[in-house]
Structures are given as structure tokens and as C-alpha cells.
Amino acid sequence: MPVIWIIIGYFLICAYFFIHYFKWIRVFREKVPIFIPVLLYLLFILWALCIPLSAVIPAGHPALRLVKKAGNAWIGIMVYAGIFLVLTDLVCLGHRLIRKHPLFHTKRRLFITGFICIAGVLLINAYGLYHAKQTIVDRETCIIEKQCGDRDHLRAAVVADLHLGYNMGYDEVLRMVRMINEEHPDIILLAGDIFDNELAAVEKPVETIRALRELQSPYGTYAVYGNHDLEEKLFCGFTIDFTAETDGRTYDDFLHAAGITILKDETVLIDDAFYLSGREDVFRAGKLGTGRLPMSSLVKNADPEKPLILLDHQPRFLQDISSWGVDAIISAHTHDGQLFPGNLLIRLLYENSFGHKMFGLMHSFTTSGIGCWGPYERIGTNSEILIIDFMFQ
């Protein structure tokens, strides 16, 4: 989609919001000091401008973090303001068609309805912010009918969609590391979207690297990249400027310094007992122009008698992947919709948008992730660490 249409669409939506906002303020502006409606108008305009401003402010600029955080919060406001306003307009239209007169025929009714809508939107977003910080541990059991060396059990701690940067910072990483270590995993797996399209946005990078090095497991920490693990400027989630370079510092350097092994279309044999494969993200590979290996090449040297676990950021092509001898695939990307009703709509787009499903003999796990994209909010979904207990028979 051309960038210009994305920008036009954004400002048209903001104009729709502003028209309703203006009508509501007009009800009481003559009864309050003039600076109150002026401040309310300025608040709306400045907040709405944060998204386009964040797309043009250079990376690393001191003002960018504040503007980006405000813009992310504005996305959450837009989601629920849009739901409230569209529903209200539909009710008003239905009332006019049936009763033949406007629903809001008094200023008092219009003021009260507007106040309820604004308060409702703010309260919902405040709850979403609180809930996003309440990380849970989700536990799953996976029985694989294969021998895994002399092991009959393997515990994997899975985290994904950290989106390190403007939402998930150093304190959140410390808490995540502590929660993972308390589970005593045998292996730790990062299923993509570790970063948020901007390496310079990572808060306290040296300290964050040091914290990630504290992750403890006998087999270490492995990761694959997701669609956000590259440098690009976004406008409401759409790419407007893509650059593969990160001014000398790369995501690889960051993860290597943190003691994390990155799998890029490769399969490794661990402890001569099981295989771990990591695929390049389909969107990331497309943008970089590198493509990704077919499954036939990824698993061609794997012993079919040994368990094979696959990390693939997006839960796509699951039925096809199940035919290649994969015992379990671990994915993320969907955030389980992140914001209601997204958790209902996301089920229409993916074979397994969240949870544990079977595709033939293959187990598919999709985690809702620990971080957030856009607004640092979760409504109807959870931020989670996924613990998978593999049992071998």
C-alpha cells in the first residue's frame, strides 16, 4: 500500500474523532474559562501528531522516546475510541430512522454520553496498561513418541515478542529473567520479535545485555528472528522507510554479547539427543531479499529417530510443516490479538493463533508473547512465559 494512502487514512480517522470531540466540547465551552477548551483541543492535536512525528524524528534523538511512547498510547486510544464512536453513531442512526428525531436532542444528554465514552476509553486503556505488566506462566505438556538420548523429560522456557525498546525496558527484562530462572528450564527459546525495529531504542543496552546473560539453563539460550527484528520506520504498523543497516551495531552483535545463539535457517543437534531447528521469518527474509530455506533442506540431515523441535516466528504453513517429520513447532507473532476484540479476529487468520494444537503427529505451540507491539496494553489476552514440558516415550 502506498505510504501516502496510509497517511491520508490516518488523518481521516483522526478527523472523524475530532469532529465528535469538537461537538462534545462545544456543549460546555461557554460555561468554563476559555483556556479549558483550548487545552483540550491542543491535547487532542498534539497527541494525534505523535505518530507522524515519531516516523520522521531521527533514531537516537532525545525526544523520540517520549514521542514514540505517546504515539503508542494513542494507538490504544484510537482502537477503543473508534469502537465507542462507531457503535454510538450506529445507535444514533437507528434511533433517527425509527423514531424520526435525533437521539441527542438535548445538550445534557450529549454531554453525559460524551463524558461516558471518553471516561470509558481512558479506563479501558489504563486497565490494559496495568494488565500488560501482569506476566503469567503458561504451562503445557508435550508427549513425543521418540527417545531423547537418556532423557525422558526436557523443560523448555519460551519467550517471544519482547519488542525491546519503547515498551519493554530494562526493568521488565530483569523481571523476565528472574521468572524464567525460577522455572529451572533445560533450554531457553526466544521465538522472535526480540527487538522493535530500532536497535537504538533498547533501554540501557549494556545493562540489558548483562541481564540476559543471567539466563540459566544447561543447554543455553537459542533464538530466531521475527518480522520486527530489522531496522525500519513504521507509520501505524506500515513500513515507510526500510534500512538493513544499524549504523555499525547489529542485532547479531547484541544477542551474541548476551550469550544467545541465533538460528538462521539451520538445524543443530543438542547433546546428541534432539534437534533444534530455527527458520528465518518469512516477512523478514522477504524484506532483506535473502529468502529462506525450504523445509526439505532444513531437515535433510536430521535423524528421524531423534526428536525435532522447530522455532518459526509466525504460525504459518503448519499443515505442510507437519509432513516433514517435525515433532513440535513453537511460534509467536500473533500476541493472541493483544487487544480485544483482536483475540477473536486473530483466530480467522492463523491455523493456530494461540495455544497448543495438533497437526497430524506434530504439536504446534503459539505463545501470546511477553511484550506488546504499539500500545503497551493487553485486554482480553495475557503477557506470558510459556513452559513446555516435553515427555519422551
pLDDT in tens, 307-335: 999 999 999 999 999 999 999 999 999 99
For residue 280, give the DSSP letter: P
Of 4 and 20, which is predicted with more confidence? 20
Instruction: Decide if pLDDT at 233 tops 90.
Output: no
Instruction: Decide if pLDDT at 76 tops 90.
Output: yes
pLDDT band at 300 (very low <50, low <70, confident <90, very high): very high
3-state helix/strand/coil string of the chain: CCHHHHHHHHHHHHHHHHHHHHHHHHHHHHHCCCHHHHHHHHHHHHHHHHHHHHHHCCCCCCCHHHHHHHHHHHHHHHHHHHHHHHHHHHHHHHHHHHHCCCCCCCHHHHHHHHHHHHHHHHHHHHHHHHHHCCCEEEEEEEEECCCECCECEEEEEEECCCCECCCECHHHHHHHHHHHHHCCCCEEEEECCCECCCHHHCCCHHHHHHHHCCCCCCCCEEEECCCCCCCEEEECCEEEEECCCCCCCCHHHHHHHCCEEECCCEEEEECCCEEEEECCCHHHHHHHCCCCCCHHHHHCCCCCCCCEEEECCCCCCHHHHHHHCCCEEEECCCHHHCECCHHHHHHHCCCCCCEEEEECCEEEEECCCCCCCCCCCCECCCCEEEEEEEEEC
Exposure string over 2-39, b if 16+ CB within 10 A, otherwise e: eeeeebeebeeebeebeebbeebbebebeeeeeeebee
pLDDT cut 70: percent of the chain above it: 97
pLDDT band at 96 (very low <50, low <70, confident <90, very high): confident
Cell of 39: 487545552
Instruction: Decide if pLDDT at 386 tops 80.
Output: yes
Instruction: Decide if pLDDT at 2 tops 90.
Output: no
pTM value?
0.93
> For position 372, what pLDDT does the model report?
97
Task: Give me the sign of the Cα torsion angle 369, 370, 373, 374.
Answer: positive
> For position 277, what pLDDT does the model report?
98
Of 347 and 101, which is predicted with more confidence? 347
Instruction: Decide if pLDDT at 104 tops 70.
Output: no
Interaxial angle between packed helices 107-132 and 3-28, expressed in degrees from 0 to 180 and rounded to the nearest 10:
130
pLDDT band at 242 (very low <50, low <70, confident <90, very high): low
Residue with cell 444514533: 92
Taking residues 110-132, report their average pLDDT.
95
Please tell me the distance from the alpha carbon of residue 139 to that of residue 15, in angstroms, as a whole number.
45
DSSP readout, 152-206? SEEEEEEE----BTTTB-HHHHHHHHHHHHHT--SEEEEES--B-S-GGGSSSHH
Fold designation for 136-392 = Purple Acid Phosphatase; chain A, domain 2 (3.60.21)
Nearest to 123 by CA among 178, 161, 80, 159: 80
Instruction: Decide if pLDDT at 393 tops 70.
Output: yes
Contact status, residue 172 vs residue 180, Cβ threshold 8 Å: no
Report which secondary-structure segment, H or E, holds 67. Answer: helix 64-99
pLDDT band at 248 (very low <50, low <70, confident <90, very high): very low
Structural domain spans, the chain:
3-132, 136-392
> For position 3, what pLDDT does the model report?
78
Please tell me the distance from the alpha carbon of residue 156 to that of residue 187, in angstroms, as a whole number.
5
